[in-house]
Chain A
Amino acid sequence: MLEKALIGGRRYWGLIILLVVIAGVGFIFYLRQLSYGLGITGLSRDVPWGLYVANFTFLVGVAASAVMVVLPYYLHNYQQFGKLTTLGEFLAVAAVIMCILFIVLDQGQPARLYHVIVYPSPNSMLFWDMVVLNGYLLLNVVIGWATLNAESKSEPPPAWVRPLVLLSIPWAFSIHTVTAFIYSGLAARPFWLTAIMAPRFLASAFASGPALLILICLIMRRFTKFNPGNEALEKLAQIATYATIATVFFLLLELFTVYYAGIPAHMIHFQYLLFGLEGKAALVPWMWTSILLACVALALLINPATRRRENTLIAACGAVLVFTWIDKGLALMVPGFIPSPTGQILEYSPTLPEVLMTLGVWALGFLLLTILYKITISVKEERAA
C-alpha cells in the first residue's frame, strides 16, 4: 500500500515539500542544540520545562482522542464512524510520534535515552509514560494498518484485530492518565497537585482531538473524493461540544477550590497565570485569549445552528484547538514553576530556535499524517470507484 503515497498531484507534493522544508529548518537548529546544549532555549534553572513538554502534553491528548471514534464504532456499533476509525488511529500514530520527538528534543543527553529501558525505574511516572505511549503507538500502527490492508482487498479485517482494538480503548485512557500523573503526583508543585488533573486532561483531549479531526475531514472533503458524511461530522461536533463543556467545568472546579480555600501556596500560581505577579505577566495575555476562545467555542458549539453550519463549525473547532493548546500547554506548564519554590519570579519565554524546532516537530508529524492519510484516502477512493 505504501506505493500509494508516491502517486499524487501537484498540491500533494507541494504540501509534502513545504512540510519537509519546515522540518529541515527545525533539524538544522536541533544540530545546533546538540552541540551547544539546551541553553539555546529559554528554559532556566527555575523553569526547567517549557514549550517542548507543553506540546508533548497537548499531543498525548490528541493521540488519546482516537478512542472517541474507535469506541462508538466498535463498542456501540455506530456505523457512521466506520470511515473514520482508520483516520483516528493514524492521527494517534502521528501524534504519539510527535510526542516522542518532543521528548527527544527535551533531553540533555538524548543519546542516553535507552537508559530508560536498560535501567527501568517503576517508581518514575516518566518510565510508565514511556511504556504506555510506545504500547499505544504499536497498537495503533498494527490496528490501523491491518484494517486498511483488509479494506484495500475488500475483505473484513482479520479476527485478531478486534481484541487489539478493545485493548486500545482503555489504553487510550491510560496514556493521558499517566501523563497527568507526571504532574499531579509532585508535592513540590502545588499548582499541579490536584486529583482532577487526569479527568481535566481527558476532557480537553476529547475536545481537541475531535475538533482537529473535523477540520482535517473538512479539508479532505474539499480536496479529495473522501466524504465522511454529515452525520459523522455532526456526531464528532457533539462529542467536541460535551468535552469542551467538561473541560471548562473542570477548570472552574479547580479555580473554586484554589480561591475559596485560599491557601497562598496554591493561589499564587493562579494569580501569576491570570493577573501576573510583581508586574511580571508574560502569560496573562495568553490565558485571557484562551478563556475568550473557550467562550467563543462554547457559544458556537452549543447552538445547533452554528454547530451545523460549516463556516461556524470551522471557527468553533479552531477556537477549541487554540484554547486547549494554551490551557494544556504553556498555561499548564509555566505557572507550575512561577514563583519558584523559594519565591523567585524568573519568567520564561521560548527562544526563536526553540520555536523553530517545535514547528519542525509539528511539520514532521503532519508529514507523516499526510502520507498515512494519502494512503488511506487512495484505498477508500479505489474501493468507491
Chain B
Amino acid sequence: MEVSKRRFLKLIGLTVLGVLARPVFGALSRLKAARASPAGAYFAGKRWGMVVNLKSCTGCAACVDACHSAHAVPSFGNPKEEIKWIWTIPYEEAFPEQNHELIKKELRGLPTPVLCNHCDNPPCAQVCPVGAIWKREDGLVMQDYHRCIGCRYCMVACPYGAVSFNWRDPRPFIGKRNSDFPIRKPGVVERCNFCEERLAKDLRPACVEACKEKALVFGDLEDAGSEVRRTLDSHYSLRRKPELGTKPKVYYIV
C-alpha cells in the first residue's frame, strides 16, 4: 500500500493524540477528587492530626527509634546522606520566628520532636511533577515510592525540611527492623507517612505508642470528643510556620 508523506504524518499525529488523551483526562479528573482511603474501625478518622506536648516531652527520642525501626529507616551517620522521618531539634530551630534573647530558660535548647506536618495545603504535593505525593481524604499526605522519579522538588518546596532522599542503597545501613515495611530503592524520596500502614490495622502511629510520657497525642481533628481536640481545647498551641499558609496538622504545646 502506498502511504503518502501527508497521510503518514496524519497517522503519527492521531497516534500521539490517542496516547496523550488518557493521561490528560486522568490529570484533569485528579484535580478534583482526592484518592479515597480504605475503611476500617479506627480508620473512621476524617482529618488526622497530632499534638506534641513539649511540657511532658523529655527529649528521650524513643519516638525516633520506634519510627525508624518500624519503617526501615537507615542510619548513615552523616548529615549529608541522612534520612529521617521524625527527629529532635532545639526549640529555637523549630520555632525560629518565636525565638528571642530573653526566651524562657526551660525552652532554650529544648529538644523538640519534628516530623512531616501532613499539611492541609501541602507544597510537596503541589510541586510534584508526577503526582507521586498527594493528600488523602483523611488528611494524610501520601507518597508512591514507585512513581517517584527522584527530582527532589518536594525537598525544595517543603518549609520544614521533612523530606529525605535515598542518595544511595539504604539496605546496608538499616539497623533493627520490627515490621515488614518495604525498603526503598536508591533515588526516591521518603518522609513520615503518619503510619498509614498501622492506621489501616487499627493501630496508633509507632511514635505515639512508643512515648512513655504520652507527650504525643494522635487523633481525628474533626471529632470534638477526640483526645487531640480535648488537648487542644485546654492548652495554648503553636504550629510551625503557619504564616506560609501550609496549614500544618502537627500542633505544639509549650
Contact = CB atoms under 8 A, between A and B. Distances in A.
Interface residues of A, number: 45
Given A37-B166, A120-B27, A122-B31, A342 B148 contact: no
A116 B129 contact: yes
Nearest to A113: B149
Given A44-B81, A121-B129, A188-B244, A37 B147 contact: no
B156 A38 contact: no
A124 B79 contact: no
Contacts of A48: 152, 155-156, 165
Contact of B167 (A38, A46, A126, A336): A38
Given A45-B82, A108-B150, A187 B129 contact: no
Contacts of B27: 119-122
B210 interface: no
Contacts of B94: 342
A300 to B, nearest CB: 37
Contacts of B166: 37, 108
B26 A187 contact: no
Interface string A98-118: 000000001111101101111
B88 to A, nearest CB: 11
B187 interface: yes
Q: Binding site of A, secondary structure by majority: helix, strand, loop or mixed?
A: loop
B151 interface: yes
Contact of A341 (B31, B150, B160, B186): B160
Contacts of A107: 149-151, 187
Q: Binding site of B, secondary structure by majority: helix, strand, loop or mixed?
A: loop
Interface in B160-204: 160-161, 164-169, 185-189
A39 B150 contact: no
Given A186-B123, A187-B244, A45 B155 contact: yes
A44 B80 contact: yes
Contacts of A125: 127
Contact of A46 (B160, B161, B186): B161
Contact of B128 (A36, A121, A130, A346): A121
B127 A126 contact: yes
Interface string B205-240: 000000000000000000000000000000000000
Contacts of B189: 108
Contact of A126 (B81, B147, B151, B185): B151
Given A48-B152, A343-B93, A187 B81 contact: no
A344 B169 CA distance: 25
A124 B167 contact: no
B123 A115 contact: no
B152 A127 contact: no
Most buried by B among A37, A116, A126, A344: A37
A58 B147 CA distance: 28
Query: Which are the 5 A-B pairs with shortest beta-carbon distances?
Result: A108-B150, A108-B187, A39-B167, A188-B159, A37-B186
Interface of A: 36-39, 43-46, 48-49, 106-110, 112-113, 115-127, 130, 182, 186-189, 265, 336-337, 340-344, 346
8 contacts: A108-B189, A112-B147, A115-B147, A119-B132, A124-B128, A125-B127, A130-B129, A342-B160
